[in-house]
A and B are shown apart, each in its own frame.
Chain A
Amino acid sequence: MIFDYLIAATIGFAGMLGVLHLGAEITALNEQTFQITMAEAILRELSVLSHLLDASPSDALERCASPAGPPFGATCPMVLETLSTIPDYRLKELTGGVLELSWTPAFRDQLTVRRMPEML
C-alpha cells in the first residue's frame, strides 16, 4: 500500500512539475517572440533613420540621445524604450551595412537578429 501511495504521489508530482515546466516554456517562447519582433522594429527604424540622415546606424542611435524635431522626436523615444526591454543587448554594424542586434534572454542561448541594408 505504501508503495502504491508513493508511486501515485510521484506520478502526481511529476505531472505537476511537467505542467509548470510547460508553462515556463510557453512563457519563454512568447517572451522571445516579443523580443524578436521588437528587435526587428528597432533595426528597421535605425535603418530608416540612418538612411534619412545618410549616416551610420550607430550615429543615428547617438543622435537619438538628444532627439530634437522629426523624425527623432517621435522615433527615438520608441527605439530607446524598446531597446530597454531587450536584456543585455549588443548592437553592431557588420561589413556591408548589415545591422546586427544580439541579446541573451534569461536562462537561454543568445538570440541574434540581422537586417540587410537593402531591406528598407
Chain B
Amino acid sequence: MFSSSVRLCRPPCWLGGLGFSLVECLIANALILALISAFISASLDVVATTQLSAERSDQSLRLRQLRHYLDATVATARMPPEWLSQKSTVTAATPWQTPAAPCESPSAVPAREKWGGVDLINLDEAPCVPGGSTGQGLYVERVLPCPSHCEPGPGYRVVPSQCHTRQLAEIASESLWRVDWQPNLSPPQNCPEGTAWGRLDRLIVSYRAASHSGSAVPELRIQSLTQGPEYGWGSAETLVAGIADWQVNRINGSLAPSASSLEVEKTHSSLDESVTSYFHLGFSVISLDGQFSVPPLRVSQLLAPRG
C-alpha cells in the first residue's frame, strides 16, 4: 500500500525531483474524499428534492386532467344552443336540466324538448349500474352534434321528432326531439338536408375508496353505456387514481346579493328553472408514491352551466 502510494506520488523527471511527500498526498486525498462526500450528500438531497417536486407535479397534472375532463364533459350536457328554438334559447342559459333516469333507455323515453343534463344519483338505488359502486355518482347525459363531434358506430341518435312532415324552417322551431338506437349512426332519413342531429351519451362518475377497491389508492371511476342495442351500463373503469375525500353537492339558490339564501341540496329532485343551480366538487389529490409522499392537494371545483 505504502509502496504503491509512494510510487504514485513519485515526482516526474521534469519537476526536478521536487514532488510531493507521502503526507502531502494523503492530505490531498483526504480533501478530495471530503469534497466528494459533500457533493454526494448534496446530490442525494437534490435527488430527494427532485423526487418530491416530481410527485407534487404529478399531483397537479392529475388534478389538471380531472378538471379538464369534467369541464369538457359537462360542457356537452345540454342541447347545442343552435338546435333550440328562439324561445328555448332564452332559457338555455339557466340551470342544467335533470336528465332522464339512468336506468331508463333513452329510446324508451317520449320525445322531449331538451336532452342532456347533469344530476346526482344514489348508486345504491341504481340496480342497472353494475360494479358495486355505492354512494353518490355524478350522472351526465351528453348531446354531441354529428357529424362534427361524434364518432361513427353504434349509439343513440338524437333527431327532431316528426321531421318527415316538416320543412327545414319549421324544424328549426320544432321543440321536441326523440332518441333512437342506431347500429351505425347516420343522419335522419326523411328529413331535409342539414337537419341537426347528434349522439346521445351517458356516463357516471363515481368514487371508490381504497378499502372498497382492494387496491392501495382510492380512485374516481367512470361508467358508460354498453355499445349493444340492449340498453345497459358497462363496467366501471378508472378515470383518475389517487383521488380521495370525494364530495359532490348540488347547490340550488339565488346568489345575488346575499349568499345566505342558498340552499344545499343533496337529493334527487327536479330543479326550479328560476334559480341558479350548480355543483360543487371537493376532493384531495393524494400522492401515489408511498416512499416520497407529499401532503394531499385539497381542491374545490364548481361546475356551472355555461352562460
> How many Å from the CB of A56 to the closest CB on chain B?
13
Q: How many residues of A contact B (CB 8 A)?
A: 42
- Contact of B36 with A by CB under 8 A: yes
- Contact of A69 with B by CB under 8 A: yes
Report the Cα distance A31→B299, complex, angstroms.
18
B67 touches A44 (CB 8 A): yes
- Contact of A70 with B by CB under 8 A: yes
B282 touches A74 (CB 8 A): yes
Interface mask (B155-170 → A, CB under 8 Å = 1, otherwise 0):
0000000000000000
Say whether, besides A37-B64, A51-B304, A26 and B32 are in contact (CB < 8 Å): no
B60 touches A9 (CB 8 A): no
Report the Cα distance A78→B140, complex, angstroms.
25
Contact of A74 among B43, B49, B280 (CB under 8 A): B280
> How many Å from the CB of A39 to the closest CB on chain B?
10
Chain A residues with CB below 8 A from B43, complex form? 16, 19-20, 23
Contact of A34 among B47, B57, B301 (CB under 8 A): B57
Interface mask (A17-36 → B, CB under 8 Å = 1, otherwise 0):
00110011011011101100
Q: Which residue of B lies closest to A26 (CB)?
A: B50
Interface mask (B206-224 → A, CB under 8 Å = 1, otherwise 0):
0000000000000000000
Chain B residues with CB below 8 A from A61, complex form? none
A54 touches B256 (CB 8 A): yes
Report the Cα distance A72→B258, complex, angstroms.
11
Report the Cα distance A19→B32, complex, angstroms.
18
Q: Which of A12, A31, A70 has the most CB of B within 10 A?
A: A70
Stretch at the interface among B103-111, B181-189, B237-245, B259-267: B259-267
Say whether, besides A23-B49, A120-B307, A71 and B251 are in contact (CB < 8 Å): yes
Chain A residues with CB below 8 A from B20, complex form? 2
Report the Cα distance A74→B39, complex, angstroms.
46
> How many Å from the CB of B70 to the closest CB on chain A?
11
Say whether, besides A37-B60, A54-B256, A20 and B46 are in contact (CB < 8 Å): yes
Say whether, besides A1-B8, A24-B46, A70-B264, A52 and B299 are in contact (CB < 8 Å): no
B42 touches A74 (CB 8 A): no
- Contact of A111 with B by CB under 8 A: no
Chain B residues with CB below 8 A from A1, complex form? 8-9, 12
- Contact of A99 with B by CB under 8 A: no
Report the Cα distance A49→B42, complex, angstroms.
45
Report the Cα distance A38→B288, complex, angstroms.
19
Report the Cα distance A12→B61, complex, angstroms.
36
- Contact of B63 with A by CB under 8 A: yes
Q: Which residue of B lies closest to A78 (CB)?
A: B300
Report the Cα distance A40→B9, complex, angstroms.
62
- Contact of B231 with A by CB under 8 A: no
A68 touches B49 (CB 8 A): no
- Contact of A91 with B by CB under 8 A: no
- Contact of A11 with B by CB under 8 A: no
Chain A residues with CB below 8 A from B255, complex form? 52-54, 71
> How many Å from the CB of A105 to the closest CB on chain B?
12
- Contact of A98 with B by CB under 8 A: no
Q: Which residue of A lies closest to B53 (CB)?
A: A30
- Contact of A45 with B by CB under 8 A: yes
Interface mask (A73-117 → B, CB under 8 Å = 1, otherwise 0):
011011101000000000000000000000000000000000000
Q: Which 7 A-B pairs have the closest CB atoms?
A: A23-B46, A30-B53, A30-B57, A37-B60, A69-B259, A78-B300, A48-B302
Q: Other than the known A45-B301, A69-B262, what 11 A-B pairs have Cβ atoms closer than 8 Å?
A: A1-B8, A13-B35, A16-B39, A20-B39, A38-B60, A53-B255, A70-B253, A71-B278, A74-B282, A75-B280, A79-B300
What are 6 A-B pairs with beta-carbon distances under 8 A? A34-B57, A40-B67, A51-B307, A55-B256, A74-B280, A77-B300
